Structures are given as C-alpha cells and as structure tokens.
Amino acid sequence: MVRVAQIINRMDYGGIESVVVNYYRHIDHSRFQFDFYVTEDSLLPQLRELEDMGAKVYRIPPYSHVISYHRCLKKAFKDRGYQIVHAHLSTMSLFALYAAKRAGVPVRICHNHSTAQWGEGVKTLLKYMLRPWNQLFATDYFACGDHAAGWMYGKHKLQSAKVSVWPNAIEVDKFTFHDMVRESVRKELGIPMDAFVVGHIGRFTYPKNHPFLIRIFEEVVRQEKNAYLLLVGEGECEPEVKELVGQMEDSHKVLMVGSRSDCDRLYSAMDVFCLPSFYEGMPVVAWEAQANGLPIVMSTAVSHEAGVNDNAIYMSLDEAAGQWANQLLKMQRIPVETAGKKVPNISVYAAKLQQYYEERLKDIS
C-alpha cells in the first residue's frame, strides 16, 4: 500500500477539498491511501470520515510563512518517504513542490484548479510571477480542465499532451433531484413551495462576484415577487454581501445559510443556479447543479467545460443585471433521467487516477 501526500490549503467545505476527498472516497484504499497536509486553521469537517477510511491528516503552517512551511513539509516528505506528492495550491504549489524536490520525492504533481483576473491587483500579479516556478519543480502537470491547464502551463504544453486533465468529477447519483427533498429543505428554510429560488454555492470571495449576484436578484424580485435567493458558503467578503443585502427592500428574501455539508439536498430546493464569477478553474458546483437537472447561468469567464447540459447558458459580465435576471426567469429544469448523463462520474476518473499513480510508480522503480 502506497501513501500519497495531498497538499491542500485550508480544508473546509470548499470546492478543491471536496474534489480531492471525492477522488479519495472512490480509490482503492488497499492500494493507495492519502495523507492530507492542511493549514493549522482548517475546520476539517471531513476529519472523521477521512480517518475512518485510513487517511492521515497533518496540520501545517500556512504557505505565507514561507520558511516554516518549507521546513515542515521537507521534513515530513523525507521522514515519511513519500514517492508521490500531489499539490493543489494553484501557483502557490511551488512551495510544496520545491520542498518535495529537496526531500527527494520522485513524482511531484502540480494540479491546477484555478486561473486569475486582474481585479485582484497585487494578488493576481503575484500569481503571474510565481506561475513559471511550478513547472520548474513539478514532474507531472495536472489541471481540472483545458482552461485551467492553458492558463497555468501554456497552450503549447497543453497541446503537446504533457498536461493531464482531471475533471472535478462527482458522484452523479448523489445529486439527483427529489421532490420530497425539495419539500423538506424548503420547509426547513422557510421558503414557500411555490417560490422561485435562485441558488448559489461558493465561498464569499472576490472571484465569485457576489455583489453582482445581489444586483441580479434585485432585478429578479422586481419581476417575480415570490422569489428567493439562497446563498451557501462563508468567506472574507461575507460582511460586504450582508451590507448589500441589508440595503435591499426585500432583504428577507435573501437566505445566507453558511457552509453546509448537505449541498446535495439544497440543489433540489432551487429552481435555477447562477454563477457570475470573475474567473474559475472548473467549478464543481456547476456539474453538481446540472446533475440535479438545474438550469444554470454562468459568466463567460467560467470554463467552457462547465456547461454540459442543454439548459446551461453563458452570459457576459458586461450585460446588465436585468438581462441576467430575464434569462434566469425563463429557464427550466431538465428531466431526472437525463440530467446527469453528461456529467463526469467520479467512479470512472478515480479508477483512471489510480492507474496513473500505478504507472508512475513503475516508471520510478
């Protein structure tokens, strides 16, 4: 049995950690076990489940404490004799990959899940400055989709087949729409059964563009008085969003329910999903929503791979909030029996990842 070091930043309810845990759930634990390296302030809602499956979880300093982060990881990699280190930190993976290289780890995977947008100023500049170093210290190049791969590694490397694309595959059946679940969730949240519910699941961070989502909903509720906005997540921009909601005439129709472990249930309570992001890698929520049959409206900044169903629409962020609202109000669910057919299934891709690990171990033996 081989232990693979999975390097994550803060481990809460976010998309990246859910993807890695999902792959872990479906891999053969008699052959591969994952060790999770996460920051000290992680909430780790998955801890019990991970340990029950045989994983080990190690809390480490954040990568912003560069020296202590490097020393901690280098020692851990060397002492525990890892053959594979798999880093999921976008451009910040370079710090873990450098530590892995110095510790003599033969297989060092850079797995990119994101892109960038200049609205974040210095943070974006730092991403662009650090981006080339990941390729210097990595031996293997992964990404969640073509868009994320092209941004991190360049189109030439992507076209040369040096990059492996691993979709943020999901357990499709888990997200199937159920009438009884819809009724239960709406009753729990105080949402009328005949209400029109716009949903969004994601951390309250700049890329998710919550302020524009609030403006879109204001336009929705002008046309449809019995409308509600369901926001799931937490993050540093939450106070700003709460202030914007508080200024609304219909603020009671915006439900901010925090981070939830039952998002699979929440999709059934929604009527449409809205994702007006400034940038994304490959948002797993897009596929979860579509597996549920939800229509989804996304910004054109979201990867083209995200829209797999016929009721997935892309709109420019240059279009007015009212135009987004008009699109949301006219969309319809698709039947349960066809909803998840085009969504990548985790059982297939976990088996492929295991095979990849096996082949790389043969390469270095």
- Tens-digit pLDDT profile for residues 40-88: 999 898 999 999 999 999 999 998 899 999 999 999 999 999 999 999 9
Rounded CA-CA distance 127/143 in Å is 16
Nearest to 269 by CA among 174, 189, 327, 170: 189
Residue owning tokens 């490097």: 70
In sign, the C-alpha dihedral spanning 256, 262, 263, 268 is: negative
Mean pLDDT of the chain: 93
User: Which of the two residues, 147 and 345, has the higher pLDDT score?
Assistant: 345
| pLDDT of amino acid 25 | 96
Are residues 145 and 283 in contact, defined by beta-carbon separation less than 8 angstroms?
A: no
Quickly state the pLDDT bin for 127 (edges 50, 70, 90): confident
What is the Cα gyration radius of the chain?
21
Nearest to 92 by CA among 10, 31, 30: 10
| pLDDT of amino acid 332 | 92
- Judged by DSSP in three states, 210 sits in helix
Nearest to 342 by CA among 308, 295, 314: 308
Nearest to 89 by CA among 22, 9, 192: 9
Taking CA atoms, 191 is separated from 5, 330, 331, in Å, by 43, 20, 20
- 274 DSSP β-pair partners: 297
Nearest to 134 by CA among 107, 159, 163, 111: 111
- Judged by DSSP in three states, 46 sits in coil
| pLDDT of amino acid 346 | 95
Long-range own/partner contacts, residues 332-339 (CB < 8 A, 24 or more apart): 332/295, 333/177, 333/271, 333/293, 333/294, 333/295, 334/293, 334/295, 334/309, 334/310, 335/293, 336/176, 336/177, 336/293, 339/176, 339/177, 339/290, 339/291, 339/292, 339/293, 339/309
Half-sphere exposure in the Cβ direction for 27 (13 Å, CA): 28
* pTM beyond cutoff 0.85: yes
Judged against a pLDDT cut of 90, whether residue 314 lies above it is answered with: yes
Judged against a pLDDT cut of 80, whether residue 156 lies above it is answered with: no
Quickly state the pLDDT bin for 281 (edges 50, 70, 90): confident
Rounded CA-CA distance 248/341 in Å is 39
Judged against a pLDDT cut of 90, whether residue 132 lies above it is answered with: no
Q: 2-47: per-residue pLDDT in tens?
A: 999 999 999 988 788 889 999 999 999 999 999 999 999 998 989 9
Q: 169-208: per-residue pLDDT in tens?
A: 999 999 999 999 999 999 999 999 999 999 999 999 999 9
Quickly state the pLDDT bin for 129 (edges 50, 70, 90): confident
Query: Which two tokens mark 290?
Result: 């579509």
Share of the chain above pLDDT 70, in %: 99
Query: Which two tokens mark 282?
Result: 């490959």
Which residue type sits at 103? A
Quickly state the pLDDT bin for 157 (edges 50, 70, 90): confident
Judged against a pLDDT cut of 80, whether residue 117 lies above it is answered with: no
Q: 315-360: per-residue pLDDT in tens?
A: 999 999 999 999 999 999 999 999 999 999 999 999 999 999 999 9
Share of the chain above pLDDT 90, in %: 80
Quickly state the pLDDT bin for 282 (edges 50, 70, 90): confident
